[in-house]
Each structure stands twice: as C-alpha cells, then as structure tokens.
Structure 1
Amino acid sequence: MNVLKKICGALALGTLFLAQPAHAWWNADFAQRTRFVLNTTAQGVETREALSGTVVPLRLHSGNFDFLSAKPDGSDLRVVAADDKTPLKFWVERFDGANELAVVWVQVPNTLPGTDKNVVHVYAGHEAAAAEATSPALFDGAMRAAISFAGKPGEPAVDASGQLRSTAGVAREANGLIGMAARLDGQPLQWAGEATKAAGSGPYSASLWFKPETLSGVLLQQGPLQLKLTNGKVQAQLGAATAAGGDLPPSAWAHLAVTVGNGKLSLYVNGAQAAQADLPQGVAGIEGPVLVGQGLTGLVDQLEVAATVRSADWLKFAHAAQSADAKLMLSNTQTPDTAEAGEAHEQGHFAILVDNLTVDAWVVIIILAVMFVIAAWVMWDKAVLVGRADKDNMKFLQNFRNARDVLAVDIRGMKHSQLARLYQAGLRELHKRDVGQAGAAKLSGASIDAVKAAVDADLIRESHTLNSKIVLLTIAISGGPFLGLLGTVVGVMITFAAIAAAGDVNVNAIAPGIAAALLATVAGLAVAIPALFGYNYLAARIKNISSDMGIFVDEFVTRVAETHGAR
C-alpha cells in the first residue's frame, strides 16, 4: 500500500488538481471538509481541452456540509486544491446557516479534460479561525466584466472586475439561479466603461443567465452587437451578420452566450452552439455602455463579458458548473477519520447516500435492520426445524409401516419427528387402558375415539410449535415496506421544506436528500422481499408436515382399531 501511494503521488506532481491518495489533512484544526469533484469525462460533462482560470460556484447544503460545526457567518471557510496544500482564491456570495445553504465562488487554476480527478476541497469547522479577506475579483485576465448581482435590493450591481460602473439601483430577487438575481421590468440595466470595448471583428465574448417572463426584447446590447429574443427564439446580430437558433421556454433558466472572433459570430444556448454566421468586412466596433433587458421582464443572473473568444468547451463547462449540473459536480462531506480511509478511491454512490441520511431515516433503517435480523433468524431456525423433521418423519414412517405390531415401532434416534411424538402420545393412551397386556379387554369404539382425541390434541400442539414465530415473518413482510415508505416520505418532506424555506432550487440541494430518503424504502423492501420468499417456502413445508401428521393419526388409529378393537 505504501508503494502504491508513492507511485500515485509521483504521477500527480505534474498537475495541481490531479487527485492524490492519502494526502494529509490540510489543517488539523478544521473539523470537516467538502470534497468537490469536477467530472469532465463522458460520464460527466465531457471537455476536450484544458481550461485555465475558470471560476465555479460551489453550492453547500445540508447534504454535503455540516453547518452546525461551521461558524454562523461562514468566516471559517477555506478552499484548498486537490493536493491539500495549495489555498485557492474564493469569495462567499451567500452563507445562510439558518437555511443551510451557501454559495462559494472558487478560482480553479487548471481543469483537466476527460478526467474525474479535478478536485476542490472546502474546509470549515474551526471556531478560532479569523475571517479571511476575500474578493469577488477572481476571474482571469481576459474577463472585462463579471456581475453576480449580489447585494441589497435597490443597490447598483457591482462589476467584480472593477472595470464597469453603474449608478442605477437594481431590483433583486433573493433566490436566483446561483445567488441573488436581477429583476427586469422592461427598462434596461446599464453599465458604462471602456474595458468591454472591442473591434467589430473581436475578440469578444458575453454570456448571462436569463429566466424569461416575456419572450420578445433585447437581452444584451453593446453598440451594434445585440442578443435578442423574438417570440422565444434567440438571435445574435452584429451589423449584417445574424446567428439565429434555439428556443427559450418561459419561466426556465437558460444560459446564453455570444462570441465574436475568427471571422465568426457564434451563438450558444445552454452550453451548446446553436448558430453561427460569417462576419462581413468593416463591422463597426463593439463599444459603448452594456445594456441588459430592453423591453424584457424576468430574471437575469451572472453577466460576464470577456476580451477573448471563449471556446465551446469553456462555455459548456461554465454552463454546467453554474447550473450545478450533477453530472459535472459531485460533492461529499469528510472528516479527518473518513478522509484517510476514502482518499485512495472515489466514494461510491451508496456511500454518498449513507452520508446524507437524516436522523429520521437512520431511526427507520435501524428498526428495519432489527426486523431483518429477527426475520433471518426465524427463517434459519424454521428451515433447520422442518429439514430435520422431514428426515426423521420419513424414517419413522418406514419403521411404522414395516412393523408387525403397532405397539412395537422403533423410534430411537427420531427426536425431531413429530410423527414419532404423536405415536408416543397414542401409546400413552393405550397403556392407560392396558392394551397389549395379557388378558386385557378389547378397546370399545368409545375408547378408540378417546385415544384419537388425545392424539389430535398433541397434533394441534405440534402444529403450534411448527408455526410459532412465523408471525414475525408476516410482520416483516407487511410492516417493512410501510416503515420504509414512512422514512422516505418524512425525508422528502424535510428536504422540500428546507428548499422552500431557502427558496434556492437546484439539483445538488434536492438530490442528496431525496436519494437518501429513498434509501429507507429500499431498506424496507430489502427486509420484506427475503421474508416473503422465506415465509412462502416455510409455509409450504409446514403445510406438508401438518398433512402428514393428520394422515398418520388416521392411519395409527385405524391399525389400533383393527388389532386391538372390539369386534
């Protein structure tokens, strides 16, 4: 194992974000960390080029972060690279300990293509940690404007890069796609500055998130460049060049981007290229104020303008990262103990579900585990019982039917045979009446009936013994799924109540809670299904033994009547 660790560590020296096994905890004073994996393989969101300087929002929620162990204002948050040594630049846009939701923007220096080893760690749980000075200015040198709309309602929207300015207040919606969002009322939001100025041939890129309420208007404009909607259809226009494609459904967030450069005007919708047009010669320069939302109503989030042509992979990655695409971003909570055991390999899906179980789900699953142990014990106990009984019953019947004297059947070594015990009960009754003794009177019809009644009583007692504890299997069969369903319903209720209170709906906030809640139903079925099969198997075996006992009693009484009954 030590040799393997050294080999893996040596292979990881070439890149900062290649996940390495068995790294030491960055700082022992921090009680927890959340491990984020950016999966750029075909199973995640596939990219084919290395991306540098990307800035991603990491969403913390009750499923991947222990808010109770962190400081109430999140001032003990720290972000570290995959090597567990290199601190990364970050900015906390939102930290809501009451509703257990937070958004942390992190600058990722390198994101490798085609791997699930791009890892970022968020540390917390250090009461003595001083607040670290952070800034939203995390973006690469090509970024000319980055506006997240964080702030108080009515305040101007601040450009994180500090290159554009706006004095007009912005109406805000507390629960946007990522954090705060701007609410459009038909009048354009406006930012001024020379930083976003570009030639008509580029290079230039702009992107933003939009949740429309109206489907016609100019979403983004700077000089001759327009990104607009016409009856829900997206269109980018620069001079005589027009790239149209992609429909926007109402009341749904969409990521829109336009790039100018390399002789092309390109339009992207939700990370995929929707249209492209050739740029004519002599296009006027892209300059003047940046306008957003002319004639439109709805919500806008995360406006970015860059003095470069963002690649298709860059925009695809930005769309997936900012929308919290579960295929791209996997997260889980670790403590120093659990991290040491889990560093060498990726955490499995089942382990993620267990990590996200709530207290109520644990209670239900523990009860179901106890039920499963009891049901398994009953099935084993009864299976052994009926197996031994069948073997001894077959041996006894062979001896009984071969015996000339009904009173002299060999029952040695047949302690598990119900038939042998019924035979002994019949012999006791016959001995009470001196049957088989010299000079004994023949049995009357009433005496034979009395013997049969006594043996029938023992038959009922044997049946009770055979069926004892079987009721525990029926409880597991009927009660297990209902208990599991109860755990799932309560877990789903808690998840949706937390989301409703926070108003922040994203797949990473919902999925872990619901998936973990469903684990309770799986546990219920895991108890009920084996118990159902075991019950039906045992019921059939016990029914056969009961039938054999009934047949034997009639056969025994008939032979006694023939041999020792009055004529």
Structure 2
Amino acid sequence: MGVIAVGRHILSWLIALFVITSPAFAQESTGWWNKDWPYRRAVTVDTSPSGVSLTGAIGRTVLLVRLHDGNFTFSDALDNGADLRVVDSDGKTPLPFHIERFDAANGMATLWVSVPSLNGGEKRRLWLYFGNKTASAGSAIAQTYDPDTVAAFHFSENAGQPARDLTANRNNAQNGAPGVDDNGAVARAAKFPGQGEIVIPASASLAVAAGGPLTVSAWVKPDQLQGEQALYAHGPLILGLANGAPFVLEGTQRIQGAVPLTQGKWTHLALVADGRTLRLYVNGIEAANRAGALPTLDGAVTLGGASGRPFTGELDEVRLSKTARPAAAILASAQSEGPSNKLVSVADAAERQSAGGGNFAYVLGKVEPIDAFIIGLCMIILVLATAVMIAKTRYLNRSVRANSVFLKRFRALHEHLTNMQKVAGITAGELDVIGRSPLGRLYETGVDELEVRREVRGLRPLSGEAVEAMRAAVDAEVVAESQKLDSWMVLLTIAISGGPFIGLLGTVLGVMNTFAGVAQAGDVNVNAIAPGIAAALMATIAGLACAIPSLFGYNYLNARISAVTDEMRVFVDRLITRLAEMQTETPPPATLQAAE
C-alpha cells in the first residue's frame, strides 16, 4: 500500500498546484456556503456579448432558472425541492427565491431568483445548493420581488381558484381563470376562452397617480387574432391586441406595434410609462412609443379581457410595477423566461462539498486501490525522470562551462602541449574546473599517451601505427565520456514509452471494476457509473503526466548531449594532429611560459 499512498499524495499535490495556477478553477472554488449542503451547481447570468448583450445598470431583477435532467440531479435533492438554496457570487449571501414547479419524477423544475444590482456586460456566477435531506423549505416568495412590484401572478392555481398575488401587497384576484394550461410559457398558465376575465379589486398599492411610472409585463399566447382583445385594463389604460398587433390605449391615445403576434405562440409583451413617454416592447425589443404621461389610474384591474374586448388565448407571468423598468431589464426578463434562453445557464456538473470543492477533488476521492497503485507507479516514474532531467541538465551545464575554460587555456598553449599541472601560472581553481571538462580529460589522455611514447622512442617522429594507437586510446575516453552523458537516459525513454500504457492499463482495470460493481448491484444509471469511470481516467492522466514532461526533457537533453559529443570528436582530431606534429619538431623549452 506504500505506492498507493504515494500516488494519492502526489496526485493531491498536482491538483492543488492546478487549483493555484488556474484562475478559472479558482473562481469555481468559492468558499462553501454551508457544510450541511453537500452539492452545488454554478448558475451563470451572462449579460455580456457572449450571452445576452445588455448595457447599463439593470438593478434588482427576478430571473427564471430552469432545471431539468440535463443540468440537475433530482435524486440528490428532496422530492419537493425544499433543500434548494441560492447564494450570491460572493459565496456567502443567500438570495431570495421561490419555486414555482418542482417535478422530480419527470425531471423538471422552475424557480425564480431575485438577483440584486445586475449590470450589463458582466458574467455573474450564482450558486445553487442542494442535497441537505433535513432542510426545511427555503422559498421566500414575497421577498423575491422588490417593493416596486405591486402584483405578480404565476397562475399556478387550479381552475376556478382565485389568482394569487405573490408579492407582499396581496393583490389577490376575486376570481380565477376559466381554464388552465399545465404547459404554459413557464409552468401553469391561465386560459381564457373569450370570456371570464380575472378581476383584481382596487387597492392603494395598485393605484397610480397622474404622471406616475408604471411597468406592465406578461407572456401572451393568442388563440385567435381577430378584433380587439384586452390583456390588461386599469381605468382608461388598456394593453391588448388589435387583429393580433399589440397596442396600448390610454383614453383616446393609441400606440400600436406594426407586426401582429403569431397565433398559438408565446410572446413577451411589456408596457413602460416613465411620466414622459409610453413605450411598448415585444420580446424585449421596443416596438412603438409616444410622448405623454399616464392619467390617474384607480379602480379594479382586469386581466384576460375587458368590457367589449374579450380575450381568447393564454396569459402567464403577469407582473405590475410602480416604476419604469429600464429597457435592459425588460430584455433580461424576456430572455431568461423565453425558450431561447441565453441569459441564465446552469452548469452541467455539480460540485461536491466533501471533495473540497471542485470536480478534480471529487474524482480523486473516487479512485479505487488498483487505480491508486497505477497512479502511484506513474508518479514514481515521473519523479525519477524529473530527477534524471535535473541531474543531467546540471551535469551538462557544468561540462559546457568547464569546456569553455579548458579551450581558452588549450588555445593559449599553441604547439607546446603538456600536462596542465605543469603549465606555469595555472591556478588550483582553474585545474579543478578543467578536471570537470570532458575535453580536458581527453587532452590529459592524449598527452599521457605521448609521454609514454617519448619515454620509449625519445624525440623520433611517431609512426602511423603509433599515431593510430594514440587516437584509439583517446577514442576510448570519448566512449567513456559519452556513456557518462547517456547514463540514466533510459529512464526517460521508459517514462515516454511506458507511462501512457501503464496509465491505460489502470483505466481499463478501473472501468472493468466499475462495470462489475454496477452489474453486481443491479443499478444501471449515470450516477453509479460516471464517478468510477472518471476516477479510472485519472490513471491515464497520470500516465500522460509522466510521459509528456519526459518527452520534452529527453529531446532537450539529447540535443545538448549530441552537441557535446560532436565537440569531443572534433577535438580528438585536433589534439592527435597537434601531438603528432610536436613529436617531429624541436622539443619545447624545459620551462613553459604562461600564455598571455
């Protein structure tokens, strides 16, 4: 088990290094909000050009988050979603939210999140926590909406039940929609067959003073386009459809969009009055406007029809606000709630708190002993290969520096070659450096060979056989120096060739073990298979981590070794030639002068 422990330790160190050096991963590893919640998923609100390009300050906004089997693991949450919590990007601040629908059996859920201080041109990351099996319901319906929102309706009631206002103003309707559609724009929607509009009694919070601000928004699906149909009516103000084209009527003043809505298709409509201009928006885009202010609005509000203007179709997500919402906020609502949502996205993978935050740490915790052994083996090979690369680099650097010092002294000697210890003026430090030079050792071998022949032959010129014998002696030293340079390089070739195959072996064994466990348990699902396969792939990662640095290091060292070896072979030719020339000339003086 020693190799297993080493493998886990080294892999943990590598993951920690990756976390430190990766800004993207560090951002995901925001501190865990509460240890009682074992899972979380990142929810990204993208108002930059890569999502929905919005500009300026949007302010506090209620955004829709859709969950499904592709981006949420319903089996890890409570059946009613009571354990869900939403935390702001700082990782500390819980955000108000509420659940409109949570259907674990069919893998569908919708929740509304109040996002404070949203701005255009940013990517804001929220955190959706879940998995606390003892948690109580965390929804805060009334707190989801800001004080300017005076009424909000999901129409999630059963047919005939009065429509309930979700804000703290309690502007509940006195009656319900004639029918319901369980598959509305978001969840359940109100269905109107051309009669039976919803009536909301008058209240102080619904009343609007003359010239006051107002925003009305709703999702609309007309089932027929003929005639005039009222969607919202409050005193002299009507938002509706005229032969399918959206219009706003204020007394006798009318503004109208040019393009009719598509029958049987959901469309987002909004009316914004800021005291100077009335604006009509279709799917978040301004469709018409006129200068002017609202008159006093009081009395009851009707939805889904008005006197003489019945509506045939469906309404969903009606929201009334006593403020003029900015255009960016209207577009944000239309985009987050519409089918082609590019504003809000939920991460495909969950993070697990017990893994220390992050997918890599989670996978590491799932590594089986056989994979840990393989990983440990690969890491040991990597450590040995790294030690060889470091040692060889230091040896080559030392040899190159020593060769440079030796060649300077060698050139200064000209034709008076002798043992370096006999050279006048040479220091002990210089001799020590030259002793570490491969060329210096070749030189000493050649000079020693010449001295041996002088003792036997005197100063007579060397025969061809004698010169070749000297060359053979120096060539033998070249081979010895080359072997020193190449020693332990085989470990790098083993790491390059064997590392990936060893890692692949670990992956195959891990996958086989995972499928065997699934077969024995009889539980075939992604949650049972994915962690084991992901952990098995760690062995392949370890093999590649072993091979890739070794490959680069081997190529670098091999190039430098080849350069040093070539330099030695060229030097041997120069050395033997000069030694042979010296033997045919007048012997040098007994005492050599140090070269300038």
Return the TM-score normalized by structure 1. 0.55
Query: Deviation of residue 21 (structure 1)?
Result: 4.5
Alignment partner for residue 99 of structure 1, among 102, 106, 118? 106
Aligned-partner residue type, residue 22 of structure 1: S
SS of residue matched to 1:64: coil
- Residues 319-398 of structure 1 correspond to what in structure 2 (within 5 A)? 319-323=334-338, 325-332=340-347, 333-336=349-352, 340-341=357-358
Task: Report the equivalent of 2:132.
Answer: 126
Aligned-partner residue type, residue 82 of structure 1: S
> Aligned in 2, Cα 1:108/1:133: closer, same or farther, shift over 3 Å?
closer
Task: Report the equivalent of 2:232.
Answer: 220
Query: Deviation of residue 7 (structure 1)?
Result: 12
Aligned-partner residue type, residue 209 of structure 1: W
Write the distance in 2 (CA, Å) between the matches of 1:317 and 1:194. 29
Write the distance in 2 (CA, Å) between the matches of 1:287 and 1:6. 61
Over the matched positions of the two proteins, sequence identity in percent amounts to 32
Write the distance in 1 (CA, Å) between the matches of 2:207 and 2:281. 21
Write the distance in 1 (CA, Å) between the matches of 2:126 and 2:253. 41
The answer to whether residue 243 in structure 2 is matched with residue 231 in structure 1 is yes
Write the distance in 2 (CA, Å) between the matches of 1:221 and 1:67. 41
Task: Report the equivalent of 1:452.
Answer: none
The answer to whether residue 312 in structure 2 is matched with residue 297 in structure 1 is yes
Query: Deviation of residue 74 (structure 1)?
Result: 1.3
Contact 1:241 1:265 in 2 (8 A): no
Aligned-partner residue type, residue 256 of structure 1: L
The answer to whether residue 58 in structure 2 is matched with residue 51 in structure 1 is yes
The answer to whether residue 189 in structure 2 is matched with residue 178 in structure 1 is no
Write the distance in 1 (CA, Å) between the matches of 2:139 and 2:342. 32
Query: Deviation of residue 4 (structure 1)?
Result: 9.6
Task: Report the equivalent of 1:444.
Answer: none
Write the distance in 1 (CA, Å) between the matches of 2:143 and 2:194. 29
Give unpaired runs (5+ residues) of structure 1: 10-18, 344-567
What are the Cα deviations for residues 142-190 of structure 1, in whole angstroms up to 9, with x where unaligned? Answer: 1111111122232111111134122213232112111211111222211
Aligned-partner residue type, residue 279 of structure 1: G
* TM-align CA RMSD: 2.7
Give unpaired runs (5+ residues) of structure 2: 1-15, 361-596
Query: Deviation of residue 62 (structure 1)?
Result: 0.2
What are the Cα deviations for residues 500-522 of structure 1, in whole angstroms up to 9, with x where unaligned? Answer: xxxxxxxxxxxxxxxxxxxxxxx
Contact 1:268 1:275 in 2 (8 A): yes
- Residues 137-536 of structure 1 correspond to what in structure 2 (within 5 A)? 137-161=143-167, 162-170=169-177, 171-187=179-195, 188-192=197-201, 193-215=203-225, 216=227, 217-245=229-257, 246-279=259-292, 284-294=295-305, 295-323=310-338, 325-332=340-347, 333-336=349-352, 340-341=357-358
Aligned-partner residue type, residue 274 of structure 2: G
Write the distance in 2 (CA, Å) between the matches of 1:134 and 1:21. 26
Contact 1:226 1:237 in 2 (8 A): yes
Write the distance in 1 (CA, Å) between the matches of 2:21 and 2:140. 35
Write the distance in 2 (CA, Å) between the matches of 1:21 and 1:77. 19
Task: Report the equivalent of 1:460.
Answer: none
Contact 1:25 1:336 in 2 (8 A): no
SS of residue matched to 2:75: coil
Write the distance in 1 (CA, Å) between the matches of 2:274 and 2:139. 37
Aligned-partner residue type, residue 201 of structure 1: G
SS of residue matched to 1:114: coil
Write the distance in 2 (CA, Å) between the matches of 1:195 and 1:122. 33
Aligned-partner residue type, residue 266 of structure 1: R
Contact 2:174 2:198 in 1 (8 A): no
Write the distance in 2 (CA, Å) between the matches of 1:241 and 1:197. 20
Write the distance in 1 (CA, Å) between the matches of 2:303 and 2:356. 45
Contact 1:58 1:104 in 2 (8 A): yes
Query: Deviation of residue 202 (structure 1)?
Result: 2.5
Query: Deviation of residue 228 (structure 1)?
Result: 1.7
Query: Deviation of residue 206 (structure 1)?
Result: 0.6
Contact 2:58 2:326 in 1 (8 A): no
Alignment partner for residue 112 of structure 1, among 116, 119, 131? 119
Query: Deviation of residue 126 (structure 1)?
Result: 1.9
Write the distance in 1 (CA, Å) between the matches of 2:111 and 2:166. 14
The answer to whether residue 85 in structure 2 is matched with residue 73 in structure 1 is no
Query: Deviation of residue 85 (structure 1)?
Result: 1.4
What are the Cα deviations for residues 367-419 of structure 1, in whole angstroms up to 9, with x where unaligned? Answer: xxxxxxxxxxxxxxxxxxxxxxxxxxxxxxxxxxxxxxxxxxxxxxxxxxxxx
What are the Cα deviations for residues 447-489 of structure 1, in whole angstroms up to 9, with x where unaligned? Answer: xxxxxxxxxxxxxxxxxxxxxxxxxxxxxxxxxxxxxxxxxxx
Query: Deviation of residue 28 (structure 1)?
Result: 3.2
Contact 2:164 2:173 in 1 (8 A): yes
Query: Deviation of residue 195 (structure 1)?
Result: 1.4
Write the distance in 1 (CA, Å) between the matches of 2:98 and 2:278. 33
The answer to whether residue 72 in structure 2 is matched with residue 61 in structure 1 is no
Task: Report the equivalent of 1:543.
Answer: none
Point out the structure with max Rg over C-alpha.
2
Aligned-partner residue type, residue 311 of structure 2: L
Write the distance in 1 (CA, Å) between the matches of 2:245 and 2:327. 21
Query: Deviation of residue 326 (structure 1)?
Result: 3.0
SS of residue matched to 2:76: coil
> Aligned in 2, Cα 1:70/1:4: closer, same or farther, shift over 3 Å?
closer
Write the distance in 2 (CA, Å) between the matches of 1:240 and 1:81. 46
> Aligned in 2, Cα 1:271/1:48: closer, same or farther, shift over 3 Å?
same
> Aligned in 2, Cα 1:199/1:7: closer, same or farther, shift over 3 Å?
farther
Contact 2:351 2:358 in 1 (8 A): no
Aligned residues: 332
Write the distance in 1 (CA, Å) between the matches of 2:210 and 2:216. 14
